[in-house]
């Protein structure tokens, strides 16, 4: 599928599994982009890329593959600048990019990260990537990149916001008869509260930026429709053995409620069974340690089996992944995960 999105709670292995999936797609011949929309940015260490927001090609030299692997960290400013340059007229784009309100918007508006993830996915599709893998932030924010664009779309289509955006310039040019009494009252009231200079700056900015905001909202709707199409997009829930039941239920419910399709559940970090038994005569602390380890392995296996039974009717692919002997950093470790996923 061209778009694969990985969700899960903190630290379960989303970034590792997403990066491994992207590697697998590239080795199979896709031009694949793995995009992290998580500000924490562990993708950098997993793939050894630097921190600028542009796509960077990850050399696959040691591995034989037909495709290309690219990685990018979501960069709010770069993504919004690109939308402004592409969708505003040149003079308007210059005014927007240099406007003080734009600088504030970019740096301080909470949630810009979540709003721009959808725009960035649209840009990646425009750039001709045949496979796009999305690594998301931990659960508290996990679904916000799907919810916020929808909320924004409603916001820009509300009558009051439309009225402000469309009539402000007329109001400034002033033959008051041209604009409705309602907007006249609205601007005067807002000015009383916030002071004239600030209001002029904000409204002036908004009146030019309105077209970009409306364009963003149209594209967000198109992209969300693609994310809801099971032929184009699949969602994977990543979890660990003891969290699997709770995480599986939560994300399956929340994604279904929003009409997104869950294709896979990855249960990561299952401890592999201890091979054989210790010979008699080993010091007892070691025997105890091995016994404890084996108990945890057994509990992991039971959790995995329970989860497989519970979700087999709802989620087509249930994938167990073992605990690896070292951190998942660099291509060889990611390739290990690819091999485990193919077992
Ligand atoms: N199967 C595994 N075996 C061993 N270590 C693993 C495995 N999967 C992940 N890890 C390690 O666990 C840590 C967390 O993994 P990762 O960053 O992929 O999780 P995450 O869900 O993306 O975390 P966050 O919620 O912080 O973004 C990393 O140090 C990674 O190397
Ligand atoms: Mg991560």
Task: With H, G, I as helix, E, B as strand and everything else as coil, classify residue 201.
Answer: helix
What is the pLDDT averaged over residues 291-298?
92
What integer pLDDT is reported at residue 161 of this predicted model?
63
Which residue, by CA, sits nearest to atom 14 of ligand 1? 11
Q: Which ligand 1 atom lies nearest to the CA of residue 325?
A: 4
pLDDT at 173 over 70: no
Q: Contact 301/244 with Cβ under 8 angstroms?
A: no
Closest listed residue to residue 53, CA positions, set 30, 13, 82: 82
316's tokens:
């087509």
Best residue among 7, 9, 10, 16 to mutate for probing ligand 1, ranked by most atoms within 8 Å of CB: 16
Hey, which residues does 270 pair with through a beta bridge?
A: 322
Long-range Cβ contacts of 338-343 (<8 Å, 24+ apart): 338/20, 338/23, 338/24, 338/27, 341/17, 341/20, 341/21, 341/24, 341/266, 342/24
Which residues have C-beta within 8 Å of that of residue 319, sequence separation ≥ 6?
264, 265, 266, 267, 341
CA distance 143 to 128: 26
12 CB less than 6 Å from ligand 1? yes
332 CB less than 6 Å from ligand 1? no
**Lowest-confidence region among 49-53, 171-175, 253-257:** 171-175
Hey, which residues does 240 pair with through a beta bridge?
A: none
330: left (phi over 0), alpha (psi -120 to 50) or beta: left
Residue 49 CA, chain-centre distance (Å), reads: 18
The Å distance, Cα 187 to ligand 1 centre, comes to 51
Which residues have C-beta within 8 Å of that of residue 194, sequence separation ≥ 6?
202
Sole residue written with tokens 């679904």: 143
| Domain annotation for the chain: domains and CATH numbers | 3-104+112-145+229-273+283-342 (3.40.50.300)
| Segment 187-246, tens digit of pLDDT | 666 666 656 666 667 767 777 787 888 888 899 999 999 999 999 999 999 999 999 999
CA distance 28 to 48: 21
338's tokens:
């690819």
| Segment 305-315, tens digit of pLDDT | 999 999 999 99
What is the pLDDT averaged over residues 38-56?
76
The Å distance, Cα 75 to ligand 1 centre, comes to 22
Taking residue 106's Cβ as centre, other Cβ atoms within 10 Å add up to 15
240 CB less than 6 Å from ligand 1? no
96's tokens:
């927007």
pLDDT at 336 over 80: yes
What integer pLDDT is reported at residue 190 of this predicted model?
62
109's tokens:
């508006």
Which residues have C-beta within 8 Å of that of residue 175, sequence separation ≥ 6?
none
Which residues have C-beta within 8 Å of that of residue 30, sequence separation ≥ 6?
67, 68, 129, 130, 131
134 CB less than 6 Å from ligand 1? no
Q: What are phi and psi for residue 204, nearest 5 degrees?
A: -60, -45
Closest listed residue to residue 125, CA positions, set 232, 43, 217, 19: 232
**What's the predicted TM-score (pTM) here?**
0.87
The Å distance, Cα 12 to ligand 2 centre, comes to 8
As a whole-number percent, the residues of the chain with pLDDT over 70 amount to: 82
Closest listed residue to residue 114, CA positions, set 86, 85, 152: 152
Distances (CA, A) of 143 to 161, 193, 324: 25, 35, 29
217's tokens:
């909202």
Q: Which ligand 1 atom lies nearest to the CA of residue 38?
A: 27
What integer pLDDT is reported at residue 115 of this predicted model?
85
| Segment 88-139, tens digit of pLDDT | 999 989 998 998 878 877 776 567 788 889 999 999 999 999 999 999 988 6
272 CB less than 6 Å from ligand 1? no
CA atoms within 13 A on the CB side of 285: 0
What integer pLDDT is reported at residue 37 of this predicted model?
87
Closest listed residue to residue 77, CA positions, set 51, 55, 107: 107
Could you say which ligand is closest to the alpha carbon of residue 10?
1
């Amino acid at each position: 599928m061209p778009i694969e999105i990985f969700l899960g709670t903190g630290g379960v292995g989303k970034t590792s599994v997403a990066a491994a999936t992207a590697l697998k797609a590239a080795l199979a011949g896709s031009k694949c982009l793995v995009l992290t929309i998580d500000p924490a940015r562990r993708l950098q260490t997993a793939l050894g890329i630097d921190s600028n927001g542009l796509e960077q090609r990850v050399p696959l030299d040691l591995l034989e593959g037909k495709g290309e692997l690219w990685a990018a960290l979501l960069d709010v400013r770069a993504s919004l600048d690109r939308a402004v340059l592409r969708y505003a007229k040149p003079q308007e784009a210059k005014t927007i990019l240099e406007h003080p309100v734009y600088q504030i918007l970019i740096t301080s508006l909470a949630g810009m990260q979540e709003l721009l993830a959808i725009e960035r996915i649209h840009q990646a599709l425009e750039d001709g990537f045949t496979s796009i893998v999305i690594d998301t932030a931990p659960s508290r924010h996990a679904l916000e990149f799907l919810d916020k664009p929808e909320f924004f779309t409603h916001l820009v289509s509300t009558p009051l916001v439309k009225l402000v955006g469309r009539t402000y310039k007329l109001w400034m040019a002033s033959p008051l008869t041209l604009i409705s009494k309602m907007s006249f009252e609205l601007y005067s009231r807002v000015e009383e509260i916030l002071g004239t200079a600030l209001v002029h700056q904000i409204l002036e900015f908004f009146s030019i930026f309105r077209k970009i905001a409306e364009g963003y909202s149209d594209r967000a709707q198109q992209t969300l429709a693609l994310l809801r199409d099971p032929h184009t997009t699949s969602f994977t829930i990543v979890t660990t053995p003891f969290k699997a039941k709770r995480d599986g239920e939560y994300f399956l419910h929340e994604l279904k409620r929003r009409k997104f399709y869950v294709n896979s559940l990855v249960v990561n970090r299952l401890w592999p069974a201890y091979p054989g038994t210790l010979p008699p005569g080993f010091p007892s602390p070691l025997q105890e340690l091995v016994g404890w380890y084996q108990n945890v392995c057994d509990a992991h296996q039971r959790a995995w089996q329970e989860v497989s039974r519970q979700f087999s009717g709802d989620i087509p692919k249930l994938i167990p992944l073992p605990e690896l002997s070292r951190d998942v950093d660099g291509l060889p470790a990611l390739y290990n995960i690819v091999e485990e996923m193919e077992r």
